[in-house]
Structure 1
Amino acid sequence: MNSQKKKFQFPSAFTVLFIILILAGVLTYIVPAGLYSRLSYDTDENIFIVENQNGENDTLPATQETLDSLNIRMNVSKFLDGSIKKPIAIPDTYQKIEQSPQGLLSLIISPVEGVMDTVDIMVFVLILGGIIGLINKTGTFDAGIAALSKKTKGKEFLLVVFVSLIIALGGTTFGLAEETIALYPILMPIFLASGYDAIVCIAAIYMGSSVGTMFSTVNPFSVVIASDAAGISFSEGLTFRGISLVLAMFITLIYIYRYAKKIKSNPKNSLIYEDKEKIEERFLKNYDPNNVIEFNWRRILILVVFLAAFPIMIWGVSSGVWWFSEMSALFLAVAFIIAFLTGFSEREAVNTFLEGAADLVGVVLIIGVARAINIVMDNGMISDTLLNYTSSIIENMNRGVFAAVQMILFSFLGFFIPSSSGLATLSMPIMAPLADTVEVSRAVVVTAYNWGQGWMSFITPTGLILATLEMVDVTYNKWLKFILPLMGIIGIFAILMLALQTIL
């Protein structure tokens, strides 16, 4: 009797995250615990509050003299006008504290805490899933795909360029990232019907967002906060960052084009060819190019209502007024309108919405588990220790080496502290003054921070990539096979540009 050798299957996104969660727990036993003192501003009392490593608070006048005495080289106005909202680390205050290892019970609890901590994002994703379920059942997407396929025949890659550039614009201006989750169910059928695979769709959306946020120009959640915390204007290095963004997007689009061209010429060249039928079954279930659904007034109106929500959402987020609660409320209102437009009975509309939301339960749980990893490291008090280690590495280095190593270290820190604003306020008061010791502009440190953290986001499991892959049924190893060469190219490009910035 012949026994067939079982083919190795790469672990699911959940398994990958739980392995990393265990490793994070192990690190809390190995890496010494430590903290910097933190400085925050009390708007009601108009005072600074200094919290030491024991959790004790001291109050100081909210003046420039206070900042100077603490060796925090930034203007006090940045606190007074609300530019700096989060507590910042105070230079030269790092102290080791009692170890706080995270045992088995902490590891088991952390995913629950992660889910609770990210419930706002989860609600947003589930509502989107419900809307997608409603729209799919009406045949709106299928009819739209057929209409668009006619228009773009022979020029399909223009869609990739258009999608990537629009999303990159959102990334570089206001950090468009989590919001792009809504685009996959819409664009995936269009890309598949155009002869591409799921990886091309992911690359167009995810890399548009990632390159845009990596090479941020005026993003208030990263480069502006980092510049404020470094004590400089965000306009320093703005032109340089803008040029770098254009070049990086050009490189990325060429890379995607080369892969997409191979897929068009022979579908077997796809890295996920073995999953082609399964993915097409999910996203092109009811689409038949030989039996085109009529794109009638009802379907056009449903699509218009859905798409109209996106510019409203972008306005709300970019103006700084909205976050996930407001975005969820917007799309919930859209869901009510679309449910009415479908013509379904009340029971059918509700059940269809719930079925659509249920399709994304796996995605929202991944978001919660990813957050659990950060919770374990925060509770283990090792993030500040890693920052202290990395800052000691780069003192008194050669200019070009200093900039390159800064970027690599920020990539490392970005894995453990995925929040762009959190990493900026924690690290900039410590890292920025080191630029003075090697006689380079602090704008170089801001650029290195932004590029380093953004570069790591291409693959970091604690970020958005695993939730993205779960949405489109692509495994992490296939994404790594596609993206690592581009990651290497962008990394070399960024380091060369950083070295150039140090001499400009």
Structure 2
Amino acid sequence: MVLQEKEKKEKRSFPHLFVILMSVIIIATVLTYIVPAGNYERIVDEATGQTIIDPLSFEYVEKTPVGPFAMLLSVQEGLIQAAPITFLVFMAFASLYLVQETGAVDASIALMVRKTKKNEKLSSITIAFIIYVLAAWGSTGTISYEQIIAFIPIFCTLAIALGYDPLVGLGMSFLPVGMGFASSTVNPFTIGVAQGIAELPLFSGIALRLIILAVMSTLTVVYVLWYANRVKKDPSKSIVAGIDFGELEIDEARLSTEFTTARKMTLLTLLLGVGIMAYGLSTQGWYINEVAAIFVAVSIVSGLINRWSPNKIAEVFVEGLSKGVLSALVVGVARGILVVISKGNILDTIIYSASSVLTNFGLYLSGIGMLIVQSLLNFLIPSGSGQAATSMPIMAPLADLIGMNRQISVLIFQFGDGFSNLIWPTSFILIACSLSKIPLNKYYKFVLPFLGIAFVFQILFIILAININYGPF
């Protein structure tokens, strides 16, 4: 009887992350036999240094279908291509695990719980404050999914300790970073690249984007607080009710962790490291490798502050690396999808076909259609700068053709590239779910209604931009 119940439970369980990704890779492989192969010529844009496509150079070529062995090889090649991000994930996980092992995180959460018990409204204010800060920060491009994912277990533990569930933890960490990224203000990796290709002044048109950031951030705060308060009043209404989150829960022993001077200094070191990352990313041209180096530095300094021996620092750091294995590998396996599509030469065909269809619609419908195309394209190219280099050489001239200001095409690009990151499994949602112990179907149940509302707002902002002829200044 017990065995039968176990088998039924296994049948009902949601597929493993790698099962989902391998299924998509198989589908992509099949498509290389069905979709005609085609190519655009790639050129180097002297103004931006980006390798972009020549929008007038598309031609159909001989099919290059991907065989079964090449499909399996794409996993390894995807891991190699995604190596910088993969190793950043390892470094971030190892560093934050070491900080947690010092007791600094438990002590800070315990302090926050004690404060909120004295004033219940403080928890809602804390959630709103965190969302606004992370959304604004995310809009600058100096914090993104690569950096925030390692902090997700901390936010989920905080949410549980405050009487909510891990979805609230995602709602105040992963979600606002995504909303900020999509409402980009001065993100050099998305807006910067896209405007450069569209031949627009760098970071021009920021006034409307600031309004969009404020609206979308507030929308996030309202939705997360609505759900959080609903769960706190009646835990049975939690989407993840009945799921064991033992690893994320903080017991009474941990809640009594003393906030010693060493632990305060450890948290200060972490915050200082994050501040240095933001400075380097925004002013020194830093990217993934430099951020990973800062995480290593935070680990060493934190260990020394707590008077750990070099051996202990190394041992705890290695334990932390093991915590990041699944998350790091998911990034590389997801990249294998793009490897298959590129080998089969069907990516350019998909882009060409989509852009050809859009010329048949009016201005407003074309704008909405461009948004849908960019959102779908983000499934295949989860890199913001990579998607800009691939799609903007086509979308900018297409905007000229249909009488749309190029600034609007950049706005549509940032919407399509940004918001869909919170949907597609080729982005970081699989990692976020694995870290928060939330099944993917439960995550979708939480986030899809919100993204549906956000999609309506995207369309309204596009219509507004068209009506005011949102331009380069």
Alignment of 1:121 with 2:88, yes or no, is no
Call closer, same or farther: CA 1:235–1:316 in 2, change over 3 Å: closer
Structure 2 partner of 1:294: 258
Q: In the alignment, residue 162 of structure 1 is paired with which amino acid?
A: F
* 1:134–1:352 contact (8 Å) kept in structure 2: yes
* 1:217–1:241 contact (8 Å) kept in structure 2: yes
Structure 2 partner of 1:208: 176
**1:402 corresponds to which of 359, 366, 383:** 366
* 2:300–2:313 contact (8 Å) kept in structure 1: no
Alignment of 1:170 with 2:172, yes or no, is no
State, as a whole percentage, how many aligned pairs show the same letter: 32
* 1:100–1:379 contact (8 Å) kept in structure 2: yes
What CA deviation, in whole Å up to 9, does each residue of 1:86-109 have, x standing for no partner?
222112210011211112111211
Q: In the alignment, residue 469 of structure 1 is paired with which amino acid?
A: C
* 1:120–1:325 contact (8 Å) kept in structure 2: yes
**1:158 corresponds to which of 114, 118, 125:** 125
Structure 1 partner of 2:25: 21
Q: In the alignment, residue 174 of structure 1 is paired with which amino acid?
A: G
* 2:191–2:203 contact (8 Å) kept in structure 1: no
What CA deviation, in whole Å up to 9, does each residue of 1:348-406 have, x standing for no partner?
33322211221111111111111111111122211111110111011152121111111
* 1:410–1:449 contact (8 Å) kept in structure 2: yes
CA distance in 2, matches of 1:317, 1:441: 30
Structure 1 partner of 2:272: 308
* 1:175–1:213 contact (8 Å) kept in structure 2: no
Structure 2 partner of 1:64: none
CA distance in 2, matches of 1:181, 1:257: 21
* 1:12–1:475 contact (8 Å) kept in structure 2: no
Q: In the alignment, residue 199 of structure 1 is paired with which amino acid?
A: L
Give the deviation of 1:122 after TM superposition.
2.3
Structure 1 stretch 426-435 or stretch 355-364: which is displaced more? 426-435
CA distance in 1, matches of 2:404, 2:299: 52
Superposition pairs of residues 256-267 of structure 1, within 5 angstroms = 256-267=224-235
Larger radius of gyration: 1
* 1:399–1:499 contact (8 Å) kept in structure 2: no
Structure 2 partner of 1:45: none
What CA deviation, in whole Å up to 9, does each residue of 1:207-256 have, x standing for no partner?
11111111112211112211221222245532222212211221221111
* 1:222–1:421 contact (8 Å) kept in structure 2: yes
* 1:414–1:452 contact (8 Å) kept in structure 2: yes
Q: Secondary structure at the match of 1:282?
A: coil
CA distance in 2, matches of 1:299, 1:31: 57
What CA deviation, in whole Å up to 9, does each residue of 1:427-481 have, x standing for no partner?
2222212222332211111111111121211111111111121122112111111
Higher share in helix: 2
Alignment of 1:343 with 2:307, yes or no, is yes
Structure 1 partner of 2:249: 284
CA distance in 2, matches of 1:245, 1:305: 30
CA distance in 2, matches of 1:233, 1:291: 51
CA distance in 2, matches of 1:284, 1:21: 35
Q: Structure 1: which 5+ residue stretches go unaligned?
A: 42-78
Alignment of 1:468 with 2:432, yes or no, is yes
Structure 2 partner of 1:221: 189
Alignment of 1:101 with 2:101, yes or no, is no
* 1:396–1:437 contact (8 Å) kept in structure 2: no
Q: Secondary structure at the match of 2:106?
A: helix
Q: In the alignment, residue 182 of structure 1 is paired with which amino acid?
A: A
* 1:302–1:338 contact (8 Å) kept in structure 2: yes
Structure 2 partner of 1:35: 39
Structure 1 stretch 434-443 or stretch 345-354: which is displaced more? 345-354
Q: Secondary structure at the match of 1:88?
A: strand
CA distance in 2, matches of 1:326, 1:363: 20
Structure 1 partner of 2:471: none
* 1:387–1:427 contact (8 Å) kept in structure 2: yes
CA distance in 2, matches of 1:306, 1:185: 16
Call closer, same or farther: CA 1:10–1:26 in 2, change over 3 Å: same
Call closer, same or farther: CA 1:147–1:378 in 2, change over 3 Å: same
CA distance in 2, matches of 1:497, 1:385: 29
Give the deviation of 1:13 after TM superposition.
1.3
Q: Secondary structure at the match of 1:457?
A: helix
Structure 1 stretch 14-23 or stretch 348-357: which is displaced more? 348-357
Q: Secondary structure at the match of 1:274?
A: coil
CA distance in 2, matches of 1:502, 1:135: 49
Q: Secondary structure at the match of 2:43?
A: strand
Q: Structure 2: which 5+ residue stretches go unaligned?
A: 469-473
Over aligned residues, Cα RMSD in angstroms? Answer: 1.9
**2:14 corresponds to which of 6, 10, 16:** 10
Call closer, same or farther: CA 1:294–1:443 in 2, change over 3 Å: same
Q: In the alignment, residue 410 of structure 1 is paired with which amino acid?
A: Q
What CA deviation, in whole Å up to 9, does each residue of 1:325-351 have, x standing for no partner?
211111112211222223334443332
CA distance in 2, matches of 1:88, 1:218: 21
What CA deviation, in whole Å up to 9, does each residue of 1:96-128 have, x standing for no partner?
112111121112111111222222222222222
Structure 2 partner of 1:435: 399
CA distance in 2, matches of 1:265, 1:130: 36
**2:454 corresponds to which of 463, 477, 490:** 490
Alignment of 1:233 with 2:235, yes or no, is no
CA distance in 2, matches of 1:323, 1:216: 17
CA distance in 2, matches of 1:291, 1:255: 28
Call closer, same or farther: CA 1:282–1:183 in 2, change over 3 Å: same
Give the deviation of 1:409 after TM superposition.
1.0
Q: In the alignment, residue 93 of structure 1 is paired with which amino acid?
A: S
**2:413 corresponds to which of 449, 459, 464:** 449
Structure 1 stretch 395-404 or stretch 483-492: which is displaced more? 395-404
* 1:132–1:185 contact (8 Å) kept in structure 2: no
Q: In the alignment, residue 137 of structure 2 is paired with which amino acid?
A: G
